[in-house]
Structure 1
C-alpha cells in the first residue's frame, strides 16, 4: 500500500511535469509567432518608407531583408516546436493514462477495504447483539 502511494505521487508529479512542458512549448510558439508578426509589420513599414516591395530590387531595404531572415527563422523554430508540442502532448496523454490506471487500482483497493471493514463492524455488532440476547435469556 505504501509503495502504491509513492507510485501515485510519482505519476502525479510526472503528469504535472508533462503539463508544464506542454504549456512552456505553447508559450514559446506563441511568442515566436508574435515576434514574427511584429517583424512582418516592420518589414512592411520599411517597404512603404522605401517605396520598394520587390525583394529582388537592388535598392530593397537592407533592414527589411534582415528582418525577413529573422522572421523566417522564427517561423521555422515555431514549426519545429509544433513537432515537439505534438510529442509532448502524446507523452502527457500517456502519463495521464498511467496515472488513471493507478488511481483506479487505488480506488478498488479502498473500496475492498471499506467493504471488509463494514463486514468486520457488522460481525462485531452481531456478536454484541448475540451476547446481549444470551444475557437476557440466561
Structure 2
C-alpha cells in the first residue's frame, strides 16, 4: 500500500507540474497578444502622424516598419506557443488519466482490505460465540 501511495503522490505532482506548464504557456500567449496589440496601436499612430500607410512608400516611417517586424515575430512566436500549448494540454490530460487510474486502484484495494477485515471480524465473532 505504501508504494501505491508514493505512486499516487508522484502522479499528483506530475499533474500539477503539467498544469503549471499549461498555465505558463497560456500566460505567455496572452502577453504576446497584448504586446502585438500594443504594437498595432503604435503602428497606427505612427502612420497617422506621418500621413503614410503604404508600407512600400519610400517615406514610410522606419519606426512603423520595425514595429511591424516585431509584431510579425510575436505572431510567429504565438503560433509556436499555440502548438506547444496543444501538446502540453494533451500531456496534462494523459497525466490526469494516469492519476485517476491509480486512485481507482487504491480505492479498490482499500475496499477489498476493508471487506477482508469485516470478514475476519465476523469469523472471530462466530468463533467466540
TM bucket normalised to smaller = over 0.9
| Pairing 1:5–2:5 present | yes
In the other structure, the counterpart of 2:26 is: 26
Secondary structure of the corresponding residue to residue 69 of structure 1: helix
Q: CA deviation at 1:3?
A: 1.1
In the other structure, the counterpart of 1:112 is: 112
Q: CA deviation at 1:67?
A: 0.4
> Counterparts of 1:31 and 1:75 in 2: how far apart (Å)?
11
Q: CA deviation at 1:117?
A: 1.3
What TM-score, normalized to structure 2? Answer: 0.96
| Pairing 1:98–2:85 present | no
Q: CA deviation at 1:33?
A: 0.4
> Counterparts of 1:47 and 1:71 in 2: how far apart (Å)?
15
> Counterparts of 1:49 and 1:121 in 2: how far apart (Å)?
88
5+ unaligned residues in a row in structure 2: which ranges? none
Q: CA RMSD in A?
A: 0.9
What TM-score, normalized to structure 1? Answer: 0.90
Secondary structure of the corresponding residue to residue 64 of structure 1: helix
In the other structure, the counterpart of 1:45 is: 45
> Counterparts of 1:60 and 1:48 in 2: how far apart (Å)?
11
Secondary structure of the corresponding residue to residue 123 of structure 1: helix
Mean alpha-carbon deviation: is it higher for 119-128 or for 100-109? 119-128
| Length, aligned pairs only | 129
Q: Deviations over 1:70-122 (max 9, x none)?
A: 00001100000000001101111111111111111000000101111111222
| Pairing 1:80–2:84 present | no
| Pairing 1:126–2:126 present | yes
Q: Which segments of structure 1 move beyond 6 Å, counting only runs of 4 or more?
A: none
Larger radius of gyration: 1
| Pairing 1:56–2:70 present | no
